[in-house]
Structure 1
């Protein structure tokens, strides 16, 4: 049974792997011509997009860090104020030594 497919052949003429057909030179040219390298403008625009994305990521991360530390600070501060107002400042009986 003969097929029209081209196979990879070793130097001795035996097929290397008959299940895998080789790519002809026309197909190879078609594939390589469709995959063009980026032009200078495309590379420049892509690098600008990467720079903008990196800057935005840095700004967002900084914002969330500041917001998180602010919430942590004020929640701790409010607990301290509540503790002081509930007895330490007013010198309630439960905070005085028992003599």
Structure 2
């Protein structure tokens, strides 16, 4: 049979374990993502366009390429903005 001290230590251990297991769910977001669809003047998707995302405050850039549906996605961006998005296809912006 367990004495009071052992019971108290067991409860303390369980409480500490529960608190540590929940900690990652409260972590702050440390990166951002951006995505979209590139279309031409008629609304048709633009494939294989180069997308450059510039984080204005830091000057860092991220690059993506549109897929066959004109979609692009960039992850791991710096949190906050503003961002400048530039799209180039066949030398045209």
- Which TM bucket (shorter chain)? 0.3 to 0.5
Q: Name the structure where helix makes up a greater proportion of residues.
A: 1
TM-score under structure 1 length normalisation: 0.35
TM-score under structure 2 length normalisation: 0.36
Structure number, greater radius of gyration = 1
Q: Considering Cα pairs closer than 8 Å and 6+ residues apart, tell me whether 1 or 2 has the greater RCO.
A: 2
